[in-house]
Structures are given as C-alpha cells and as structure tokens.
Amino acid sequence: MRIVFMGTPDSAVPSLRRLLDDSHEIVAVWTQPDKPAGRGNRLHQSPVKEFALQNDLTVHQPAKIKTQEAKELFASHKADAAIVVAYGKILPSEFLNAYQHGCINVHFSLLPKYRGAAPVNWAIVNGEAETGVTTMRIVEELDAGPILLQSSTPIGEHETAPGLLMRLAEMGAQVLSETLRNLDAIEPKPQRDEDATFAPILKREDGLIDWSIDAFAIERRVRGFQSWPNAYTALDSRRLIIWRATPEQIDLPHPPGQVVQARSDRLAVSCGHSTLLCIAELQPEGSRRMSARDFINGKYVKDGALLGKG
C-alpha cells in the first residue's frame, strides 16, 4: 500500500518500522516540528523524524495542518491510507476523506475505554487489570471511529506508564500489520458511546499527592504519572518526586502525610484509610534520584515530618 505515516514520539516508531518491514511504500512521514529542549534550548527532532531520515523517507513538519497549503500537500501524496500513531494534532475532515482507506489510527487502549490523550497513564492510575491496543478508522469525533482490530494484555503489578507504553507500542505495530494485511476482510465495528471512558491530557497538578487517599491509589499514581508530571509532594517547601513505592495496610491510623518511620532503608508515610506508602526511590528538588536509604542518611527527613506542607 501507498501510505502516509503520521506520528511523533518514541511510541510511534515501532509502527513505522513495521510498515517498512512489511514492504509498504511510505510516500511521506508527517511529524511535529522540531522543538527546543535541554541546555541552550537547541532544536531537537522527534523520534519519528530521526527514524524517517535514517531510512531516507520524506518528512513534512507543518506547524499548522488546517491551512489550505497543508491540505493540498496531504492530498498530493495520493496514498491509499494514512496511518496515525500519536501524531499530536486532530486531523481536519479534508485529511480524513483524502484517501481510499481514510486515516487509520493505532490507539493505546481497548476502545471505547480511555479515549483521549493519555490512555496508558489513566489505565494504570485507575487500577485497570488489563489494557491493549486498537486500530480504528478516524472520524471527526475524538477516538470514536469504528474499530478494526484489538489486542489485550494484562497490566503488570509494578509496571510504569513508560514501560507499558513501549510494550503497547510493539503490540500496536503487530496489530497494525494484521489490520492492513486483512483490511478488505475486516468488518469495522461501531463503538458503543455509552461504554466510553476518557483519558484527558495530563496536567502538572494531576501529580500532586493527596495523602488523605489510600496508599494503593497513591502508588498507582507513582507508576502512572511517569515520566510527567510525576507523583510529587512537598517537604520543607521543596518539591519531592516519588519514583518507586510500595503500599501497606496498617492497624493504627496516623495523620495523612506524616513520616511514621525514617530508619535504615525504610521510609514510610501515612496515608488515608489506615495505609502506609513505603517509599523506595525519590528525588528532592534540585537533586538526583536516590534510594530511601540515601535520602534518610542525607538527613533530608526525620520521623514525624509532615509531607505536603510547602
């Protein structure tokens, strides 16, 4: 097939690689414009652009795609389909109707659950036992198009959002391959809108820990909000990111956010509903990631300290 590929982050690269491995003709790659990052705000290419250039593919990076110029460029590719994996922009109707097979999306959830920008993060945060990938035809309503194929997988007990996302990215490449191989035989299945749930774009304040909820929910936020905004709190007016932790049930309640034990390698913080969060790895503002033992030995914290008070 003649294909236009649209994607931007690391999680889109496996699908583009699989399209090449399957001998599809990639007539163009669309990705987001280079962005300043790091020291000196030097421009950085997206992972998809880097991969595309390494494979001598034509790359387009329009800042806006609802312009007449962008619409004409997209139509000029005369592709059979566009494949969209975490591109980063909502496509106008002219794009959706430009090619014979329209625009096919690889979405990292079992639609109609978790429509939206951050399905992997919210699946972990909400304690889902499984998730998966879906290929669907894109329509104007967000993530509401008819389903082509799906594949499910359990969410690991200790799995973080970045780890799960890359695992789903590899699954998505496989499901995409199967979708295109059987496209003429697949009967698209309409989604049940009444079963839809949503995964809104993450905001910085989503990561702020509320110590009054139970430790099991907080631990899911620790895993689910990586690598941004992260689960964080405050200690002596300094931001403190929690990277790894384990929840426990206890018999005696303590004030939420109180450090009830800071000895050796055990850093335990009281949470709601008679639970404790035992922190294994954390990062004080302006410092490196460190183990609980190093944090305690560095005299950052003592028994009785209260987290969350800036």
Domain boundaries for CATH 3.40.50.170 within the chain: 2-199
Cβ neighbours, 10 Å, residue 274: 15
Q: Which two tokens stand for residue 71?
A: 């619409």
- Cα 22 from chain centroid (whole Å): 26
DSSP state string for 133-168: EEEEE--SSTT-SPEEEEEEEEPPTT--HHHHHHHH
User: Who contacts 54 (Cβ-Cβ below 8 Å, separation ≥6)?
Assistant: none
Predicted local confidence at residue 254, as pLDDT: 87
Confidence of residue 271 (pLDDT cuts 50, 70, 90): very high
Cβ neighbours, 10 Å, residue 182: 11
Give the range among 100-104, 234-238, 298-302 with minimum mean pLDDT.
298-302
Predicted local confidence at residue 197, as pLDDT: 97
Predicted local confidence at residue 310, as pLDDT: 47
Q: Find the mean pLDDT for residues 233-248.
A: 95
Q: Find the mean pLDDT for residues 187-207.
A: 97
Whole-number Cα distances in Å, 163 to 47, 97, 167, 168, 304: 17, 35, 6, 9, 34
Q: Find the mean pLDDT for residues 211-222.
A: 97
CA–CA separation, 165 vs 149, rounded Å?
18
Residue 40 has pLDDT above 80, yes or no: no
Q: Which two tokens stand for residue 69?
A: 């110029």
Q: Find the mean pLDDT for residues 234-263.
A: 93
Predicted local confidence at residue 75, as pLDDT: 97
158-182 per-position pLDDT tens digit: 999 999 999 999 999 999 999 999 9
| Helix (H), strand (E) counts: the chain | 8, 17
What is the number of residues in the chain?
Answer: 310
pTM exceeding the 0.85 threshold for the entire prediction? yes
DSSP state string for 72-115: HHHHHT--SEEEEES-SSPPPHHHHTSSTT-EEEEESS-TTTTE
Predicted local confidence at residue 190, as pLDDT: 98
Q: Which fold has domain 2-199?
A: Rossmann fold (3.40.50)
Predicted local confidence at residue 175, as pLDDT: 98
106-141 per-position pLDDT tens digit: 999 999 999 999 999 999 999 999 999 999 999 999
Domain boundaries for CATH 3.10.25.10 within the chain: 204-297
Q: Residue written as tokens 């110590």?
A: 211
Predicted local confidence at residue 111, as pLDDT: 98
CA–CA separation, 164 vs 167, rounded Å?
5
Predicted local confidence at residue 36, as pLDDT: 85
Identify which of 135, 157, 142, 146 has the alpha carbon closest to the alpha carbon of residue 19.
Answer: 135
Q: Which fold has domain 204-297?
A: Methionyl-tRNA Fmet Formyltransferase; Chain A, domain 2 (3.10.25)
In our burial notation (b when 16+ CB lie closer than 10 A, e otherwise), range 210-231 reads ebeebbbbbbbbbbbbbeebbb
In our burial notation (b when 16+ CB lie closer than 10 A, e otherwise), range 114-145 reads bbbbbbbbbbbbeebeebbbbbbbbbeeebbb
CA–CA separation, 236 vs 62, rounded Å?
45
